[in-house]
Each structure stands twice: as structure tokens, then as C-alpha cells.
Amino acid sequence: MKIHGHSTYEPQSGFTRWLDKRLPIVRLTHDSFVAYPTPRNLNYWWTFGAMLALCLVVQIVTGIVLAMHYIPHVDFAFASVQRIERDIPYGWLIQNMHAVGASMFFLAVYIHMFRGLYYGSYKAPRELLWILGCLIYALMVATAFLGYTLPWGQMSFWGATVITNILGALPLVGESIQVWIRGGGAIDQPTLNRFFSLHYLLPFVIAGVVALHIWALHEAGQNNPTGVDVKKKEDTVPFTPHATLKDLFATSLFVILFAVFIFYMPDALGHADNFIPANPLQTPPEIVPEWYLLPFYAILRAFDFNIGPIDSKLAGVLAMFASIGILFVLPWLDTSRVRSMRYRPIARQFFIIFVVVCVVLGWCGGQNPGRILVPATFSATLNWTQGGQVIEQPVTSQGAAQWDEAEQAARASLTEQGAGMTAVQRAGADRGTATGVIGGAVQTRTVTAHSVDELEAQINGVTEEVGQSAPFFQVERRIPFTFTVTTLSQIMTAYYFLFFLIILPILGLRETPGRVPDTIAKPVIGGEEAGAS
């Protein structure tokens, strides 16, 4: 429901009266940020919008300055960023503000989004408000990815290579899209040039969508921690000074954290490899995105198996896009009519697990996917024959199709001659050599290891030790199920999607909401103005 009906703005001077008749911009500002009624029970989780607005301004202002000194050329990009850091007056400060600013932007947006999830701010009548927010987030991800390429370090180059390769996984059009985006066969000058152009453009698109986001917010009115609609004027306080000062205080704390990073650990959130200039001939030992994209990277890599006709690579790509795409339809997935999880005792527990899952996914994204989390024992048994008399005979078959028969026949013939063990080495489609050993002592050895690589090394070690004199190796490998980072990512990815696709839709229909306290359900405060919420 709308409470702010008529504008309460009254121009005080002759000039503002003149202006108000022609361009009522002061009236708009007054109605939006001064008189705008805001629920009196908003808590500090509602202050992140202000921080995000600040972040966008900081990124645009510092970015415009950086663009005055940055050179989008493969030979000069890396050096120009170093020059900004060292030679440009206050370049170090502005460059650090921009780089750290990206991380702070994402930190704030994640808290802002979790706030929306917890208090049901995406439900009617705020669906479009939420979708516009999701759109802003998607644009932020794209902008951050493009911007990360610009310093042209190793991680910039290889991150861009991996992500554009991912697009190549799309069926039919994938390869054309990949070449179209890169402007060539590989990440090179055309790519850097266009990424710079688009990185400059997108923040202004974001600013435009932010304007729509705020418009939609002011039309539907703010949600509040109880999720109960504001019912009358007494439930609200004017935006200024109440919300303004509260936002200012919270933003000050945020700026202090921002400053701590800028001045004391500007590179703590980046990757050391990005201080190595891009080299298309050498891949860094591991390629990881910035911390704020790690959960999606974990989802991408969780798919190491094919799903029917969809191969693992494409499945990962689809899941990664779906994990953001699903947020757009959330208003229609959550069937509960209760907004705030304060009054949804079961949903709240699933929500807390969801937050933990997102953090764990982030951790997984930064780990080597093959890393074994639960120690397992890999073992192999090797059999061979020591001594004895080796006999050899050629094997030939009519064609490749008859090879198995010929092999069986050769083995049988050797066994008839008294060979204890036989082996066949194929040299071509229809020829090979069968060897057998008569007599000799059968030797057995078992090796154990903690990983596949270690096991193979052990087997190779034994092979070398025993040498060529005993070629009758039979290696029986026992590879147990191993719980790796990938396994963990798979479980976490499953929860991520289950939360939206199964838990929220079903829980909303079955859950009994908690009772709304009388202090909320019934107005206890009279008509008079109380202090800040």
C-alpha cells in the first residue's frame, strides 16, 4: 500500500518557486530522500543499499580517472597499470580504491541480497524490484569480469581464456560466439580493446538500472523486518533524518573497512599471479577467479560427469548460468505468503544452511578440484614371474575384427606348451607378439598410496625395480571412492538448486508460520512521533 500520497514540498524562495513550475527536480529529491516515509522498524541490514550507491559512485569516479592513464594494448596494458601505481600522482590510491572497491561492492551486494532473501523482499508487490536487483548483480558480474582482464596479468589473461572457452561449450553456436567475443582465435589485442570499451560502458548501464530499482522501491515501499505491510502513517518515519543518519553511520563503518584494505592490504584480495605479465605460452599452475565469483566457479567445476546427451563441460556452463538465472524467478518459486523468515521457523533453518552452502561453495572454488578431503587408501597388487623360460610367437589375425579370437588362440597355444603366464602385445591392427613363460616363481607385491598419482608412481617404481626380465606384469588397481573437493562441490551445488526448486516451493505450502507478536499485529504506539527506529 502506498502511504506517501501528495507531495509535501513547499518551495521557500522565489527561485525555487520559479524552478518548481518548470522542472520540479527539487520536489522530486525532497519526496524521494527527505519526506519519503520509511518503516520505523528497519534494522541495520537495510543500510547496505546506501553503501552500494556509494560503491557505484566510487567505481565510476576512480574508473574514469584510471582510464585517463590506462592503455588498452597488449604490450602496454600491464606497464601502464604499474605506471599508475608508481608514477601518476596519487595513482596508487586511486588504483587501489578501484581494485578494492570491486571487492567491497560485491561484499555489500551479497549482504544486500541475503537480506532480501531472508526477509522475503522479493515477494509481491516487489517482484520487479527484486528482478531489477538481479539484473544489476548480473551486470556487476560482467563488469567485474571485463575489468579483471584489463591489467593484463597472467590471471587476467587465463581467466578470460577459460571463461571464453566455457562459452565454446554451447552447442552449435558456441564456437562462433567464442570467436565473436574474442575478435580472433585467441584472447589478444582485439579482446583487450573491446573489453576496455565495454568495461567503461556497463557501469553507466548499471546506474540506469539502479535508477529503475530505486523507482520501483519507492513505488512499492520498503519491506521491513517483520514482513508485515506498513498500515498507516504512524508506522513510518521520514527518510531524513531517520534513515539518512542511520545509513550514514553504517556507511561510515563500511568506509573504515574499505580504508583498512586500501591502506594496509590493497592486494590481499587479489591473486599474486596477476603481477606476472600475461603470457599466452604459459599457464599458471591454477586459474581461479576473484573471491566473489568463486561459488559460481565451484558450480561450474562440480559437473565432472555427463548427463545424458549433455557433456560435462556444457552441463557445468548451464548450471553456472542457471545458478544466477534462478534468482530472477525466485518470486514465483517461493510459495509462502509469509514474507519474513522471522515467522518461518523451518525456512529459517534452511536459509541458514543455504548461506553456509554459498560460503562452502566459495571455498571449493578456490581449491584444487582433485584435492582429497577424506583420506583414502589406494592400493594395487602386482604379479609377475621371476626366472623361467620365455617363449615367444607372433600373432596375426585376418583383420582388426578377428583380433580377439587370434589373441585367445595364441594364449591357448602358449598355455598348451606349458606357459604359466601369457601376455600379448599388439603392434598393429592385425599383428602382434604373444609371449609366455614356463616355470619360474610367481611373485606378488602390493603397494599402497594416498592418491592415484602416488599409486601410479609406486607401480612405476616396482616396474623399474623388477626390470625388463620379467615382463609378465598383471596390475590390479583398487581405487576406492574418494571424497574430493569436487564431491563436496557437487553436494553443495545440489543443495543450492534444491533450496530454490524444491524446498522453497514445497515448504511454503506446508509450513505453519510462527505467530506474529501482538506488538506488531496491533498498533501500540499512538499517533505521536517516536525517535529513530
Partner 1 sequence: MAEAQAGAAHAEQETTRRDFIYIAAGSVAAVGAAATIWPFVAQMNPAADTRALSTTEVDLTAIEIGQQIKAMWQGKPVFVRHRTAAEIASAQRDDFANLKDPQSDAERLVQADGQAGRPEWLILQANCTHLGCVPTFVEGSSFGGWFCPCHGSDYDTSGRIRRGPAPRNLDVAPYVYLSDTSIRIG
Residues forming the site for partner 1 (CB under 8 A):
158, 161-162, 165-166, 179-181, 183-188, 190, 194, 280-283, 285-287, 301, 304, 311-313, 369-370, 425-429, 453, 456, 460
Q: Please, which residue, 159 or 331, has the CB nearer to partner 1?
A: 159
CA–CA gap between residue 148 and residue 29 (Å, rounded)? 36
Q: Please, which residue, 144 or 192, has the CB nearer to partner 1?
A: 192
Q: What is the end-to-end Cα distance of the chain in Å, rounded? A: 20
Cα dihedral 369, 372, 374, 376 sign:
positive
**Residue written as cell 530499482?**
213
Q: Please, which residue, 234 or 407, has the CB nearer to partner 1?
A: 407
Closest CA to 192 of 22, 42, 359, 71: 71
Q: Please, which residue, 183 or 505, has the CB nearer to partner 1?
A: 183
The answer to whether 396 and 430 are in contact (CB under 8 A) is: yes
Q: What is the DSSP letter of 451?
A: S
Q: Please, which residue, 118 or 297, has the CB nearer to partner 1?
A: 297
CA–CA gap between residue 312 and residue 300 (Å, rounded)? 9
| SS3 per residue for 189-233 | HHHHHHHHHHHHHHHHHHHHHHHHHHHHHHHHCCCCCCCCCCCCH
Work out whether strand 483-484 and strand 372-374 pair parallel, antiparallel, or are unpaired. antiparallel
Least gap, CB of 319 to partner 1 (angstroms): 15
5 Cβ contact list (under 8 Å, min separation 6)? none
The answer to whether 278 and 195 are in contact (CB under 8 A) is: no
CB-based burial label for 412 (10 Å; 0-12, 13-18, 19+): exposed
Least gap, CB of 215 to partner 1 (angstroms): 28
The answer to whether 390 and 436 are in contact (CB under 8 A) is: yes
User: Which whole-number Å values give the CA distances from 316 to 299, 328, 378, 445, 483, in the listed order?
Assistant: 7, 19, 28, 41, 19
Least gap, CB of 509 to partner 1 (angstroms): 40
Least gap, CB of 174 to partner 1 (angstroms): 13
Least gap, CB of 386 to partner 1 (angstroms): 24
Least gap, CB of 415 to partner 1 (angstroms): 22
Least gap, CB of 487 to partner 1 (angstroms): 14
Q: Please, which residue, 244 or 312, has the CB nearer to partner 1?
A: 312
Least gap, CB of 393 to partner 1 (angstroms): 18
Q: Please, which residue, 127 or 311, has the CB nearer to partner 1?
A: 311
What is the SS3 assignment for 286? coil
Q: Please, which residue, 165 or 443, has the CB nearer to partner 1?
A: 165
| SS3 per residue for 317-381 | HHHHHHHHHHHHCHHHHCCCCCCCHHHCHHHHHHHHHHHHHHHHHHHHHCCCCCCEEECCCEEEE
Q: Please, which residue, 188 or 234, has the CB nearer to partner 1?
A: 188
Q: Alpha helix (H) ranges present in 4-76? A: 14-22, 25-33, 48-67
The answer to whether 192 and 73 are in contact (CB under 8 A) is: yes
Q: Please, which residue, 168 or 227, has the CB nearer to partner 1?
A: 168
Q: Please, which residue, 29 or 176, has the CB nearer to partner 1?
A: 176
Helical (H) or strand (E) element with 488: helix 485-498
Least gap, CB of 323 to partner 1 (angstroms): 18
Work out whether strand 372-374 and strand 419-426 pair parallel, antiparallel, or are unpaired. unpaired
Closest CA to 130 of 117, 111, 143: 117
What would the grid cell of residue 294 be?
568463486
438 φ/ψ angles, rounded to the nearest 5 degrees:
-105, 130
Least gap, CB of 346 to partner 1 (angstroms): 38
For residue 220, what are the β-bridge partners? none
Q: Please, which residue, 177 or 329, has the CB nearer to partner 1?
A: 177
Least gap, CB of 275 to partner 1 (angstroms): 19
Least gap, CB of 142 to partner 1 (angstroms): 15
Q: Please, which residue, 136 or 410, has the CB nearer to partner 1?
A: 410
Least gap, CB of 403 to partner 1 (angstroms): 8
